[in-house]
Amino acid sequence: MWRRGANLEGDTANFIETEQLLEFEGLRFSFLQIRGSIPLLWEQIVDLSYKPRLKIINHEETPKVVERHFRDLLQRYGETVAVDLTDKHGDEGQLSMAYAAEMKSLPNVRYVSFDFHHCCGNSNLDKLQLLYDQIFEDFEKQGYFLVDSEGEILVEQKGITRVNCIDCLDRTNVTQSYLARKSINSQLQRIGVLSSTECISTFDEIYEKFKTLWVEQGDEISLEYSGTHALKRDLVR
């Protein structure tokens, strides 16, 4: 049994699709993101230590496992940007290096490594702009889904951003909430609710509701997967 990572079919231990919905005067927006365990064969056996050791399982099927996982994403979502938030040292660093090596041979998938702890520390979330700058063109190209009050599709989302850390909970939720904020700003600017220079963070009441939604979502996912609330919930709030 794989306690983390993927099985031989390419299915990962933790995989979540999150859809952010916005409705305004008959217009309905949808923005999809996904999170998932690093799709290699690896495990992290739970013990009494604060941070159990990781073990990468060497298996001849590993390249096929990764290919199966991303082929499924391509069929469901289109071109994928895979954002890896893991540390670049220690056990996480070894796993991240193995993941990066496998990703080099995959078409239609862009792999982006961003050491969240090194860049953002415990509270400097403004540094997530460094990640956004790296994926900006792909993120804008992916866009979002928009349908009008008559049911006519005006815009379709083209592609997906896949985010992971180790357990795909805390660092992942903070990062996805940041990307979701970028998307909702773009949506509200499109329909004239915000000017091109405004963002929801300048409107306290709306922004508090947005942050609360993402905190609660992070808690629900964390409770389902680990039995505890998200550890970085205060960073989102």
**Domain presence at residue 209:** no
**Domain presence at residue 198:** no
Q: Decide which of 6 and 237 is more confident.
A: 6
- Tell me, what's the pLDDT at 2? 42
Q: CB burial class (10 A; 0-12, 13-18, 19+) of residue 199?
A: middle
Say if residue 233's pLDDT is above 60: no
Say if residue 192's pLDDT is above 80: yes
Give the integer Cα–Cα distance in Å for 24 and 47: 49
**Domain presence at residue 222:** no
Q: What percent of the chain has pLDDT over 70?
A: 91
Say if residue 216's pLDDT is above 70: yes
**Domain presence at residue 37:** yes
The amino acid that residue 163 corresponds to is: V
Nearest CA to 168 among 106, 230, 76?
230
Q: How many residues does the chain have?
A: 237
**Domain presence at residue 237:** no
Work out how many domains the chain is built from and give that number: 1
Distances (CA, A) of 31 to 9, 64, 88, 165, 187: 28, 30, 30, 21, 10
**Domain presence at residue 211:** no
- The rounded mean pLDDT for the chain is 91
**Domain presence at residue 141:** yes
Give the integer Cα–Cα distance in Å for 52 and 84: 20
Q: Which domain range does residue 30 map to?
A: 15-168
pLDDT tens-digit series, residues 138-187: 999 999 999 999 999 999 999 999 999 998 899 999 999 999 999 999 99
Phi, psi (5° rounding) for residue 109? -135, 130
- Tell me, what's the pLDDT at 66? 97
Indicate yes or no: pTM above 0.85: yes
**Domain presence at residue 41:** yes
Question: Which tokens sit at 139?
Answer: 């993120």
